[in-house]
Chain A
Amino acid sequence: MSRLPITKTPKCFLGGAFIRSESGRVYEHKDSAGAFVCNIPLCTRKDLRNAVEAAAKAGPGWAKRSAYNRGQILYRIAEMLESRADELAAAISLTNPNAAASREVRAAIDRTVHYAGWTDKYESLLGSVNPVSTPHFNFTVMEPMGLIGILAPEESPLLGLLSMILPAITSGNTVIALASHGEPYPSILLGEILAVSDLPGGVVNLLTGTRADILPTMATHAHLRAVYAAANKSERTEIQQGAAEHVKRTVFLPSEKPIDWFADDAQGLYHIRHFLEAKTTWHPVGV
């Protein structure tokens, strides 16, 4: 009799630990042929709140890391992704055999390297020294907003998810992201990769489950400062209505049309800018 392999219990990466949902619920994950693969945690708003707590705890420390240090950690993520590239591609192909899985993994790795290089440069381009008419040294720095909620797209389960997380954490934000419902497995692997990338626990928190469970709380939670969502019109409406309760920022990628995650403008400075606050200081100049 051949050896029975050990299958992995998928767990969500939350606060630097691997958890099952507080709800104790799971949903079946099947491959493209309809065969059972594993059970995926069905996270609920309780898990989201725990993730918010973890992200809030991690936030100040992450934002205070030097830009150089954050850049090296992002680069380390790319190194860890590269070492598990085949496994990631297999995970993408599992549910979607037609996907350009290897291309998606390569693009995800290159995108991570792209943002690793931005950590110590966006400030020079977006901040400013402002020539005011009074004797003050007046300058504007770009600060991370804080906690960002992310609703990742259904398709491109690795590249889409990472393309949304990276611009937020580059500047020192922390994130809570809900992965693709239909193709959750790459996010499970991503959690394992982040866990060994020197990324402090709580900076990225990955949930699996349904939007119906997560979206309303993500929209209204007072501690999230922005929601970044690949969303259709009715979801956008619900998110904005919820966001108004605390004047939360919203950034949308309309999901009515397919999003080209491989495009040049799917990354860059102006994605980082979405999750920054401009702070202006008037410092006296005198004796």
Chain B
Amino acid sequence: MPAKRPNNPARELLFGDLWEYDPAPETAPAHIAPRYDLFINGQFTAPKSKKWFDSISPGNEQKVSEIALANEVDVNAAFAAASAAFPKWSKASGAERGKYLYRIARLLQDRAREFAVAETIDGGKPIRESRDFDVPVAAAHFFYHAGWADKLAYAAPGRTLAPLGVVGQIIPWNFPLLMLAWKIAPALACGNTIVLKPAETTSVTAMKFCSILQDAGLPPGVLNIVTGAGDTGTNIVHHPAAAKIAFTGSTTIGKFIQRTLAGTDKRITLELGGKAANIVFEDAPIDQAVEGIVNGIFFNQGHVCCAGSRLLVQESVADEVLRKLKMRLRHLRVGDPLDKNTDIGAINSRKQLEKIQELVKSGVSEGAEIHQPACKLPKRGFYFAPTLFSNVSLSHRIAREEIFGPVLSILTFRTPEEAIEKAHNTPYGLSAGVWTDKGSRILKMSTELKAGVVWANTYNKFDPASPFGGYKESGFGREGGKQGLLDYAQIV
């Protein structure tokens, strides 16, 4: 039995700089080409704009590759290819369409490590996450939806599903390959053809993915990928051949798309921002909750639309949770995304880093209390130390605006009713977390919370079978599961 030391609690084992971890870089080759053209009608095609832009690695600011800049002519060519491919693809039997998706899933699994390394180099996320999360879950999405392709009549009781036509899809930079899979897999399963645009800063894995399409023998034109920035996206949104626009990204752009498409008959699904409440009750397993809070906000540097960025802690355990969180933060390793021991990688771009810095500054000036562990950040690249704010009030910008970075705002509550009221005090409604030992309380909170996804005693879990998407200004439509499938089809 250990000796009782009432006035001398066991010391935390914090080795600080005493023993540095050896670097443990992932060295598998990423096979990134020096230049990527557009992927139109099954072929890599030089852009008619004759322009390419640099994609840099946010981890060290070095150039990774050159990405084609698609102009209106290129986007038109992509839509022409998709329109031409539609009749045959949509009439192919579901079983045949499904077989292509199965092939894609398998080929992606074969090259999982290569894709994970490329994702980390191009986007800055820790290799641990791209290797264990992004790429395997992307493959799982193809495998899951492959099985739907010949079972569409079961997704809508009493009816069946018919494809929409050509769909335009615009995806964000936080999960480049995974968002591509979320968008492509259900659309193809339902018999649509696609023009997709990856985010400007993260096009590499999308272009690498085109080689998998070629290896899988996907018919030309079924999936076309055009790269570029906002103007390319606008060309897609405006294109008359688009039967539907699916967008994941900021609420500002989502509103712009909805406004722009007013008066057209184009369908829209929007997966937009969030400011999720992660609610910790006093009966929660605190150590497990602390791990979940850390995963909820620091996963992917906080570049997650459903990040648990507002922590609501019951007053009675607030001090304990803050103390343990501060301790846990000191163990987080920020640095080289390719290092297998890295917990927090690089911020995706300088622009995003500046936005995070600006919002953190506002948190300090508005009177919240900032906590950052002492940590050495690499000299080159875009990095931001994990940050906690306590004494946050609901009116603070850091409690209202989506920061999209490793910054957690901590608020407290006394009763479940107060927690719900505070959780709802936002225009967003994408996700929420609940930490408690009581199953009945989980279900009660889940029923009350206006959010599309509620995680209980866990956070940031995703699965192709589990529909994802928001309430209120977090957008409309779902991705994944039976419900997500219905957004890529007409119910006939």
A residues with CB within 8 A of B: 125-126, 128, 130-134, 136, 138, 140, 145, 225, 233-234, 236-241, 243-247, 249, 268-270, 277-284
Beyond A128-B483, A134-B463, A270-B491: 10 further Cβ-contacts under 8 Å? A125-B157, A128-B481, A133-B140, A238-B262, A240-B258, A268-B158, A277-B471, A278-B469, A280-B452, A280-B468
- Give a binary string over B472-487; 1 marks a CB under 8 Å from any A CB, 0 the rest: 1111101001110000
B202 to chain A, nearest CB (A): 25
Contacts A140-B467, A277-B452, A282-B461: A244 and B255 contacting too (C-beta < 8 A)?
yes
Pick the contact of A247: B255, B452, B454, B481 (CB < 8 A): B255
Pick the contact of B457: A125, A238, A284 (CB < 8 A): A284
**Chain A CB within 8 A of B442 CB:** yes
**Chain A CB within 8 A of B160 CB:** no
Q: Which of B242-282 contact A (CB under 8 A)?
A: 251, 254-256, 258-259, 261-263, 270, 272
Let me know if B482 and A128 touch, CB within 8 A: yes
Q: Which residues does chain A contribute within 8 Å of B458, judged by CB atoms? A: 134, 136, 282, 284
**Chain A CB within 8 A of B443 CB:** yes
Show 6 residue pairs from A and B whose CB-CB distance is below 8 angstroms, ordered by the A residue: A225-B472, A247-B472, A270-B159, A279-B446, A282-B456, A283-B446
**Chain A CB within 8 A of B455 CB:** yes
Pick the contact of B427: A240, A243, A246, A283 (CB < 8 A): A246
Let me know if A236 and B258 touch, CB within 8 A: no
Please name the residue on chain B nearest to A237 by beta carbon.
B263
**Chain A CB within 8 A of B453 CB:** yes
Contacts A130-B466, A281-B446, A282-B461: A241 and B262 contacting too (C-beta < 8 A)?
yes
Q: Which residues does chain A contribute within 8 Å of B443, judged by CB atoms? A: 281, 283
Instruction: Report the separation of the CA atoms of residues A247 and B251 in the bound assembly, to the nearest whole angstrom.
Output: 8
Please name the residue on chain B nearest to A254 by beta carbon.
B265
Let me know if A278 and B452 touch, CB within 8 A: yes
B397 to chain A, nearest CB (A): 20
Instruction: Report the separation of the CA atoms of residues A281 and B481 in the bound assembly, to the nearest whole angstrom.
Output: 13
Let me know if A136 and B461 touch, CB within 8 A: yes
Let me know if A131 and B465 touch, CB within 8 A: yes
Q: Which residues does chain B contribute within 8 Å of A282, judged by CB atoms? A: 453-456, 458, 461, 466
Let me know if B159 and A278 touch, CB within 8 A: no
Let me know if B461 and A244 touch, CB within 8 A: no
Let me know if A138 and B446 touch, CB within 8 A: no
B134 to chain A, nearest CB (A): 15
**Chain A CB within 8 A of B451 CB:** yes
Please name the residue on chain B nearest to A234 by beta carbon.
B263
Let me know if A280 and B467 touch, CB within 8 A: yes
Q: Which residues does chain A contribute within 8 Å of B158, judged by CB atoms? A: 268-269
Please name the residue on chain A nearest to B258 by beta carbon.
A244
Instruction: Report the separation of the CA atoms of residues A103 and B199 in the bound assembly, to the nearest whole angstrom.
Output: 56
**Chain A CB within 8 A of B16 CB:** no
Q: Which residues does chain B contribute within 8 Å of A241, judged by CB atoms? A: 259, 262
Instruction: Report the separation of the CA atoms of residues A140 and B455 in the bound assembly, to the nearest whole angstrom.
Output: 12
B457 to chain A, nearest CB (A): 5
- Give a binary string over B437-462; 1 marks a CB under 8 Å from any A CB, 0 the rest: 00100110010000111111110010
Instruction: Report the separation of the CA atoms of residues A12 and B437 in the bound assembly, to the nearest whole angstrom.
Output: 49
Q: Which residues does chain A contribute within 8 Å of B472, judged by CB atoms? A: 225, 246-247
Please name the residue on chain A nearest to B476 by beta carbon.
A249
**Chain A CB within 8 A of B156 CB:** yes
Let me know if A132 and B465 touch, CB within 8 A: yes
Q: Which residues does chain B contribute within 8 Å of A126, judged by CB atoms? A: 483
Let me know if B461 and A134 touch, CB within 8 A: yes
Instruction: Report the separation of the CA atoms of residues A279 and B447 in the bound assembly, to the nearest whole angstrom.
Output: 9
Instruction: Please indicate which of the listed interface residues A140, A244, A249, A280 has the most CB atoms of chain B within 10 Å of its own CB.
Output: A280
Instruction: Report the separation of the CA atoms of residues A279 and B262 in the bound assembly, to the nearest whole angstrom.
Output: 27
Q: Which residues does chain B contribute within 8 Å of A136, judged by CB atoms? A: 458, 461
Contacts A125-B157, A130-B481: A237 and B467 contacting too (C-beta < 8 A)?
no
Let me know if B476 and A247 touch, CB within 8 A: yes
Instruction: Report the separation of the CA atoms of residues A284 and B435 in the bound assembly, to the nearest whole angstrom.
Output: 10
Q: Which residues does chain B contribute within 8 Å of A281, judged by CB atoms? A: 442-443, 446, 453-454, 456
B172 to chain A, nearest CB (A): 16
Let me know if A244 and B465 touch, CB within 8 A: no
Instruction: Report the separation of the CA atoms of residues A238 and B476 in the bound assembly, to the nearest whole angstrom.
Output: 19
Let me know if B466 and A138 touch, CB within 8 A: yes
A125 to chain B, nearest CB (A): 5
A59 to chain B, nearest CB (A): 11
B412 to chain A, nearest CB (A): 24
B431 to chain A, nearest CB (A): 9
Instruction: Report the separation of the CA atoms of residues A136 and B263 in the bound assembly, to the nearest whole angstrom.
Output: 42
Let me know if B452 and A133 touch, CB within 8 A: no
Please name the residue on chain B nearest to A241 by beta carbon.
B262
Let me know if B262 and A236 touch, CB within 8 A: yes
Please name the residue on chain A nearest to B482 by beta carbon.
A128
B372 to chain A, nearest CB (A): 30
Instruction: Report the separation of the CA atoms of residues A283 and B442 in the bound assembly, to the nearest whole angstrom.
Output: 8
Let me know if B254 and A237 touch, CB within 8 A: no
Q: Which residues does chain B contribute within 8 Å of A270, judged by CB atoms? A: 156, 159, 491
Instruction: Please indicate which of the listed interface residues A140, A246, A282 has the most CB atoms of chain B within 10 Å of its own CB.
Output: A282
Q: Which residues does chain A contribute within 8 Å of B251, judged by CB atoms? A: 247
Q: Which residues does chain A contribute within 8 Å of B439, judged by CB atoms? A: 283
B475 to chain A, nearest CB (A): 6
A24 to chain B, nearest CB (A): 34
Let me know if B255 and A132 touch, CB within 8 A: no
Instruction: Report the separation of the CA atoms of residues A126 and B159 in the bound assembly, to the nearest whole angstrom.
Output: 12
Contacts A136-B461, A247-B270, A282-B454: A130 and B259 contacting too (C-beta < 8 A)?
no
Instruction: Report the separation of the CA atoms of residues A225 and B454 in the bound assembly, to the nearest whole angstrom.
Output: 20
Instruction: Report the separation of the CA atoms of residues A125 and B478 in the bound assembly, to the nearest whole angstrom.
Output: 17
A151 to chain B, nearest CB (A): 16
Please name the residue on chain B nearest to A246 by beta carbon.
B473
Let me know if B254 and A138 touch, CB within 8 A: no
B293 to chain A, nearest CB (A): 16
A277 to chain B, nearest CB (A): 5
Let me know if A278 and B442 touch, CB within 8 A: no
Please name the residue on chain B nearest to A283 by beta carbon.
B456
Instruction: Report the separation of the CA atoms of residues A226 and B456 in the bound assembly, to the nearest whole angstrom.
Output: 29
Let me know if B463 and A130 touch, CB within 8 A: yes
Let me know if A247 and B456 touch, CB within 8 A: no
Let me know if A247 and B157 touch, CB within 8 A: no
Contacts A247-B255, A281-B454, A284-B456: A130 and B465 contacting too (C-beta < 8 A)?
yes
